[in-house]
Structure formats: structure tokens, C-alpha cells
Chains A and B, each alone.
Chain A
Amino acid sequence: MNAELAQLLDRVRGLSEDVDFACVREWKGQGSGRKAVGYMPIYVPRELIHASGMLPVGVLGAGDRLEIIRGDAYFQSYICHIPRSTIEMALTGRLDVLDGMLFPSICDVIRNLSGMWRLLFPDRYVRYVDVPQNFSPDVGGAYWRRELEQLWSDFSGLAGRPRDARALARSLEIYNENRREIRRLYEARSLEPWLYPASELYLVTRAGSVLPPEEHTTLLRRYRELVAEESERREEDLSRIVLVGTFCEQPPLGLLLTLERAGCSIVDDDLLLGLRWLTEDVPEEGDPLDRLAAAYLECSCQTASVYQPEGRRGGWLVESVKRNQAEGVIFCAPSFCDPALLEQPMLVEALAAEGIPHTQFKYSENTGQFAVIREQAGTFSDSIRLWSEA
């Protein structure tokens, strides 16, 4: 492997493993008065944080890199893992680097976690981001614009900077460019998945949760250039699969590696969805706050936490399978994840109607044993290849 690529991959792996947010501390140390605002999965309008001169920081759980000692005392056994590790990080001071924290409306766990934050850290800025589930511009749009306006004012107060429409317009462009680059990478992966292993692409994308967007865009471009120069990566006979259910609590990297070793080539996924939530550019003309509000209504991706006003669920998944020429779907949801697990029967039905093979298993962000998953994914991959040949 090219030394620069190896170095780049080392760096992004380091960023994903760093539960102390050293790079955020470093960023803050580079200028006086710099502030950072954390956010849980999935979607928050990072543009508003950026336009206020602050760094948006994804808090995606601690994975398998932190022993949970205090966090478990706050949650019953039947609750997913990400709130445990998030509380653990907070109680051990790891999140002190954040000057505020956002909790998007993804499920009741994250919603109530916002209240726990208020109780545990009464002096910190906390905000529950209640995205609209009504997609009419005059109704849900008007509501969302008011919410965004409030958020922007909050950030302006937190940063000690007046709201600046030009700065916001600039931030919209910067994030447009960042999402465009991620989309390019996903498209490139779909065409030649052997060049972009999921375990790599995941880390490279995930770096965007802690790096400034400008720096992340540069990193994404460089990664693509370096991969193009790689001569050792050759096409392999693997099953092309879409991975679904991973939009909130992140699977351990070992799980992605296991799937690949089991013969699955991931050609689409819902990992890190918040970083690529808007599927199209926010338009360049008009009031920037209006544009950001409208973009949520018009070009949000589809996932379990978003209400779908019409039609049967799962159309987007079938479409993804077809667009990416996938041969099967792996439902890979965190244990006790309400959105993913309640959604799953509807997605299964949509796949069954199209004769698309699928398999399913659950994980936790700190899962350490992958033997069973490897066996199951391997069998699934083999069966797909057998069927394809038939």
C-alpha cells in the first residue's frame, strides 16, 4: 500500500478510536475563544454551528474502546448501548471539550438522554432538535424554519458572534461540497467496491464527524486520488450487498471487516447517515436559512426515524439494491434499536415482494465476538452466489 494512503488510513482510524476527542481539543487550542458543539446521530444542521464559527462534533458512542463502569448504572439492561457509552464519556470528563450538545429526534432513547443531560449538566448548553415530521412547506417548513432560527440564535449567543447571513451562505457551500465529495466516494465504491473496502470508506467518512468540513473534504479527495493510484487492489468474487440498520449506534469496525472477510462486498449502507443526510445540494440562491429549512423537507434521505407520508415503506431500499446492483441485503441493527427493528418487517416485506435475498443479525457497538456473524454472513454470501449461478 502506498505510504501516504497508509498514513491517511492510520490517521482516520486514530480519529475514530479517540474517545478523548484530542483533535477537537487541538482545534480549539489553535485560536482563542474557539468552541465546539457535539451532536448525537442522526441529523442536525451542522451548517448553523459552522456559520457561528464553532466546530460541530459527532458524538457517535465509544464503540468497544471504553469500559463502561458508570454508564451502565443509568440504563436498564433492555436499552441500547450508545447512551451508556455517551454518559460514560460525559461523566469521565471526555466530553468537557464540548461547549454544547444537541440531541436530534431519532427515538425515545436519545430524546430522554437530552433530559438526562439537562439534569446531569445543568450549566451546559443542551438542545433537543425536534425535526419536522410534516413535510408541507407552509406547515412543517414554517415550523422547522422557526426551530432553525432559534438554534442559530442560540449558537450565536454561545459563540459570542452576531448572526451573519453571508457566513451561513458560505457554510452551506462548504457542506454542499463536503456531501458532494462523500456522494462521489459512495458512487465510486458502488462501481468498483474492491477499491474501497467498507472498513476503509467508513473510517474516511467518519473523520468528518470530528474534522472541520473543509479539511474533511480535502481528505476525502486525497483518499480517492490515492486509491486510484493503488495497483494492488483487484476485483474479487464477492457478493454485493446493502447494509441496513446502522444509522445510529455504530457497528464496531471488526464487524465490517468480518462481513468483508465473509465474502460480502458492501455497495451501499446507512452508516453515518447524518454526514450525508441531504441527498442534493442546498440551492445557492435565496435566504440561506430558508434554503436550509427547505432542503430538509425536499431532499432528506429516507430512514426509519423519518415519517413517510405516502406509500409502503422500503421503496428506497429496493431502489438502492437496484441502483447499486446489489444481490442481497444484510439487516444489521443494534440490539434494542426501536427505529431499526420496528422498521425491519416492513423492509423485509418490500424485499420479499422483489425476490431480494436478505439476512439479519444484531450487534452492539462493543460487540467483540464475530464468529457467529462471520458464519451467518458467509453462508448468506455463498447462497447468493449459488443462486446467481443457477
Chain B
Amino acid sequence: MLLQKEMIGKHYRDLASAGDEGSKVVYTFVPGNLTELMGSFGVLPVLPEINALQSGMRKLSGDYISEAEKQGHSEDVCTYVKCDIGMLKKGNVGPTGLKLPEPDLLLLSYTGCFTFMKWFELLRQEYDCPVAMLHVPYQADGRIHDHHRDYIVEQLESEVIPKLEQVTGRRFDEERLRQRLALSAEAENDLVWVLESAKNVPSPIDAYFGGVYYIGPIFTAFRGTQAGVEYYQTLRAEIEERLAERRGPTTPEGELEEERYRLVMEGPPNWTSFREFWRMFSEEGAVVVASSYTKVGGLYDRGFRHDPERPLATLADYCMGCYTNLSLPARVDLIADYIREYRADGFMINSVKSCNSFSVGQLLMLRQLEERTGVPGGFIESDLVDPRYFSSANIKNRIESYLQMLEQKRGTAA
């Protein structure tokens, strides 16, 4: 966790000095991000969702959202967008207190979320810079079609790469991209090992609250870098040690002593009360052993690895395979598999108001998963970064009732 904080802190410092250093800056999104390609051009990525969630964790998002709403943005729409717009209107000072640089390019990776498109159209109105649009087809029927892959590769060749070349003044270097993809695959192997360590009973990790720290580097600026590889080696060694000593996961209150419930989690976390939310589970001995949110930046645990032998095609497959780009039936299949593979006692859905990509269909998912696995599900509602939509007492009450129900069920079964 400390190492990750250090890495992210350094990244924000690099961004703050980008202007002085002559570094080019590209704004882009987490799902379907082209970190290796951007890295091969030597540009620094800014991920607005990460800024928003960091602002949420640091209690800054409420003011930013109010600012955006004052400027005419609807109360009904995504709070990541409003947090970002509000932050921009208030001087674009990033979550670490350092000013963020303006983008040289907006790389609109339109993957798994309609709002992304409008978000960057809104930012385009604010900045005088080019936009590269990458339309990633949705995996509606649960598989990647060859012509969808071709479509993405053609967009990379005709739209994204030329714009990166134009902005950086550098030619596309396929070899450099291959090297970065190889580093990605190395880190991905270790990440998967870490995530799958939760199959052990007791689990040495929490794959949702703890998981967001584990995915941080690989979902953001550090995939395809040596720093990323080293981070995951260090993380794996730490978890191996924890596993060998049969220690439980780290929680806000220290190490979990007794694993009482194993849960699978669907949906993103709430960021404004992240630690409080986490504590509601950890205090009850509930450990999240698998989660869908930690797959929004790629389903490595289902076998995907960035492949240096097919550099652009592998980027296409990566984009299409992100969790929010999967159909609802595929999402149900995945979570049902997690429930079985991770021997979960239950599953819980955190439905966030901001994110229709995640939330629409979750009530049906709940029913389908209960029917298919025989495992009971819980349902709570909150938001990503709008503090007005985190009702602590209600959520705590629901979680406690749900866990009591699991306990009762266990007693009945015994």
C-alpha cells in the first residue's frame, strides 16, 4: 500500500512538472486504456476517474460536484464527470494538491461506458487540443468477433497512432510497444496470482477494498513499466508470506483475525466513505474474496494477457474484454463462477447511482445469481463520489441484516 502511494504520488509530481520538463500529457479513461501505447510515445497519462475517486477519498468531491451543478450540470448524471468538471472550474488542482497540466491530447477510449463520450466532449469544449476517438464495440453476444478486432486495430492505425505522433513529434515504434506489452504480461501474471490467493480459506487478501489498491498501478500509469513489474513482485511476495503464515487480510483496523463470511462483490465501491464502508464489512469478519470492480481494467484472471507478438490486436482484445464491456449474461456467468470457485457464502451488489453501465440490470443479476448458485445475495445503494448518496446508517443496517441472514442460514444448514 505504501509503495503504491509512493508510485501514485510520484506520478502526480511528474504531471505537475510536465510543462517544465516538456512532457506531453494525454487524458484518457481506465477501461480500455492504451497505457503501453502511450508509454511507447513517452506521454504521461491523466485518468479523470482516478482524479475523481481520489478527490472522493480526500473529501473534496462534494464541493466539486456542487460547482458543476451550479454551472448547469444535471443532478441526474455521473458524479465522476461533475467532480472532474468542478475540479477543472476550481483551478484543476489534483487530489494531491498539485496542479494538473492541461492535456495535449484527449484519448477517448470509448469502452464500456456511454458517459465517457460525453465527458470528453465536455472537456473538448474547455481545452484547445485534439481528440482521438477509439470506438470499442460492445461484446453483446459474449464473444469477440474478428471484424470488431479489425475495426479497433484500424482505428488505432488511422486515428490514435497518428494523433499521438502528431502531438509528440515521435514516430510509432512497434518494438518499443512490444517491450512494454511484455512487461505488462509479467505484471499481470503476478496480479492474477494475488487475486487468486483469495481462493484459500482463510483468504490472505480482501479482493475488493484491498483489491482497489492491488489494481491501482496496473489500471493506471504503470502497466508496461518496470516499476509496475516490481510493484507486483513485491505485492506477491508479501501475500505469499501472509498466506504461509495463515494471516488474514489487512483492514482499516489492522489485520483481520477471523474470517467469518466470504463474499463476492459486484459494482464499484463508494469512495467518499471508503474506509467506513470497508469497516462495515471487516468489523463483521466479512472478507470479499472476488469482485467484478477489480476487472474493469481487464479480466486477467480469465486468461487474458497482453501479447507482444500481436501488439495492436492484443490492445483491441484488451479493450473489448474489460468487465463493463461484457454483456449482462457474461457478467452473471462470471460472478456465478466466482461464487463457486472462491467458495463464497454470499454475494453483494453495491449499486451506484452514477454508473448506469454497472447498475442497469443489477436487480435481475441478483435474482439470476441466487437462482443459479443457491447463494443469497444482498443489495445496497450508494454513489461513487457524491457524499449526499452515502447513507451510512442505512447501508450498515443492510449489511448487518444480510450477514445475520447468512449466519442464520448456516445455523439452519448445520
Contact = CB atoms under 8 A, between A and B. Distances in A.
Interface of A: 73-76, 78-79, 83, 105-109, 111-116, 118-120, 127-128, 130, 132-134, 136, 138-140, 142-143, 146, 304-305, 307-309, 312-313, 335-339, 341-346, 348-349, 362
Contact of A132 (B115, B117, B131, B135): B135
A298 B125 CA distance: 24
Contacts of A116: 328, 360-361, 364
B359 A307 contact: no
Q: Counting chain A CB atoms within 10 Å of each CB, which of B71, B118, B119, B147 scores highest?
A: B118
A173 B76 CA distance: 41
A138 B328 CA distance: 31
Interface stretch (B154-162, B241-249, B283-291): B154-162
A112 B328 contact: yes
A115 B328 contact: yes
Contacts of A114: 140, 327-328
Contacts of A313: 121, 125
Q: Counting chain B CB atoms within 10 Å of each CB, which of A105, A139, A343 scores highest?
A: A139
Contacts of A349: 125
Contacts of A304: 118
A344 B72 contact: yes
Interface in B126-181: 131, 133, 135, 137-138, 140-141, 147-148, 150-151, 154-155, 158-159
Given A74-B364, A341-B77, A79 B359 contact: yes
Chain B, interface SS category:
helix
A338 B140 contact: no
Given A115-B140, A127-B140, A134-B155, A78 B76 contact: yes
A134 B137 CA distance: 11
A309 B124 CA distance: 11
A136 B122 CA distance: 23
B353 interface: yes
Contacts of B81: 342
B360 A108 contact: yes
15 contacts: A73-B363, A75-B363, A76-B362, A78-B76, A79-B359, A83-B360, A108-B357, A112-B360, A128-B327, A134-B155, A307-B135, A341-B76, A342-B78, A345-B71, A346-B122
Given A127-B140, A143-B151, A338-B356, A312 B328 contact: no
B328 A76 contact: no
B114 to A, nearest CB: 5
Interface of B: 71-74, 76-78, 81, 110, 113-115, 117-119, 121-122, 124-125, 131, 133, 135, 137-138, 140-141, 147-148, 150-151, 154-155, 158-159, 327-329, 331-332, 351, 353, 356-357, 359-364, 368, 381
A136 B156 CA distance: 13
B364 A336 contact: no
Contacts of B353: 76, 78
B138 A119 contact: no
B110 A343 contact: no
Contacts of B77: 338, 341-342
Given A79-B356, A116-B361, A343 B76 contact: no
Contacts of B137: 130, 143
Contact of A105 (B71, B138, B328): B138
B72 to A, nearest CB: 5
Given A75-B363, A109-B360, A307 B117 contact: yes
B159 A139 contact: yes
Contacts of A342: 74, 77-78, 81, 115, 118-119, 122
Contacts of A74: 361, 363-364
A76 B351 contact: yes
B140 A108 contact: no
A346 B121 contact: yes
A112 B356 contact: yes
Given A130-B138, A134-B155, 20 more contacts: A74-B364, A105-B138, A107-B114, A108-B357, A109-B356, A111-B357, A111-B360, A112-B360, A115-B331, A119-B368, A120-B364, A134-B151, A134-B159, A139-B158, A309-B133, A338-B118, A342-B78, A342-B122, A343-B118, A346-B122
A113 B147 CA distance: 24
A74 B110 CA distance: 27
A314 B207 CA distance: 44
Contact of A115 (B117, B158, B329): B329
